[in-house]
Structures are given as C-alpha cells and as structure tokens.
C-alpha cells in the first residue's frame, strides 16, 4: 500500500486521507512535522537530503521531517521518523505550527500544516543513507551566515522555520 498523508484544513482539522504523491501533485494541505535538534554546545544538527529524494534532493535542512501516518499522533511520528532517518531518538517538545506552500521545478507542490518540534542530543548518529546524504552540527551564527549567503542550498521549510525556532529558543 502506498504511503498516505492526512489532509487537513487551515485549523489542522483532519478532512481525509490521500496517497502522498497525489497530495503533492495536487498541492493539497496536509499534516507534517519538522524536528530540530541541538547539542549541548548550542549547535544545530543539519542533514543534507539524499540526492534522489522526490523533491529538494541534496538540500540542507533540519534533523528530520515527514508526515504522521493515519491514526498516528504527531508526537509519535516525530520519534518514529527521527529514529528511522537519523538513527537516534531524544526527548522532543513542540514549539509552534505554521503553514507553507512551495512549488518545485518537477511539478510537485509542498503544501503543509507543519508542526515544529525541538530536542537536544549529544550521542551517536547513524543516518539512513536512503534518506540522508550527509549531516553535521553547525553553530547557529554559521547557519544564519549560510542562509544569507546561499539560501538556495536549504529547503524551503527550513528557511521559513529556522528563524522562528531560534527566536523561541532565545526566549
């Protein structure tokens, strides 16, 4: 069975299910999440998406992002995907939610109601090479510098969420 996403309205209320690629072809709003992870040095974990991902391949982004499965809570999905993509899990807390829409050159449209979570981790990382091409921790100031100099090297959702994450962590 092909992966399904949870379609939602602008209030994150479920309106139905749809096959993931069909939702991205039609640009329908669906539930998603993004996980940001920092270490004790205050550095943020970035992953470079696998080069052959269906969109944004090779771009740098947060520790992991995905969609909850039908019947799965967003919190459970964050832990499942962090373990699947990066090979570890850690305590997480939700920071905020936002909606965004991005059209890609390949005709796909990312239209997501994104739940943004944050955690702290200092242990070993064993990413899935099907999902992740590379990874590293970077100081926040260096990420800000790179985002300013070369925004095209980062995913659209990372460019939108990162400033809000930093603002909330500094509060």
Residue 22 to residue 17: CA distance in whole angstroms = 11
First to last CA, the chain: 44
Between the CA of residue 153 and those of 21, 31, 52, 57, 143, what are the distances in Å? Answer: 23, 24, 15, 10, 11
Between the CA of residue 46 and those of 72, 130, 132, what are the distances in Å? Answer: 25, 16, 10
- Residues with catalytic function: 65, 112
Q: What share of the chain is helix, strand, coil (3-state, %, to 5)?
A: 30, 40, 35
φ/ψ of 40, rounded to 5, equals: -65, -15
CA 80 to chain CA mean position, Å: 13
């Amino acid at each position: 069975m092909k992966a399904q996403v949870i379609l939602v309205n602008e209030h994150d209320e479920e309106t139905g299910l749809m096959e993931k690629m069909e939702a991205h072809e039609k640009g329908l709003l669906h539930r998603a999440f993004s996980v940001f992870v920092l270490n004790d040095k205050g550095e943020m974990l970035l992953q470079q998406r696998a080069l052959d991902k269906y969109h944004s391949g090779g771009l740098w982004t947060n520790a992991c992002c995905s969609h909850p499965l039908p019947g799965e809570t967003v919190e459970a999905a964050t832990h499942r995907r962090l373990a699947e993509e990066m090979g570890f899990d850690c305590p997480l807390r939700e920071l905020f939610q936002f909606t965004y829409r991005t059209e890609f050159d390949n005709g796909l449209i990312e239209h997501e109601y994104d739940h943004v979570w944050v955690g702290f981790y200092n242990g070993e990382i064993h990413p899935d090479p099907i999902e992740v091409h590379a990874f590293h921790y970077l100081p926040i100031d260096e990420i800000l510098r790179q985002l300013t100099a070369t925004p095209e090297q980062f995913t659209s959702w990372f460019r939108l969420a990162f400033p809000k994450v930093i603002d909330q962590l500094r509060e």
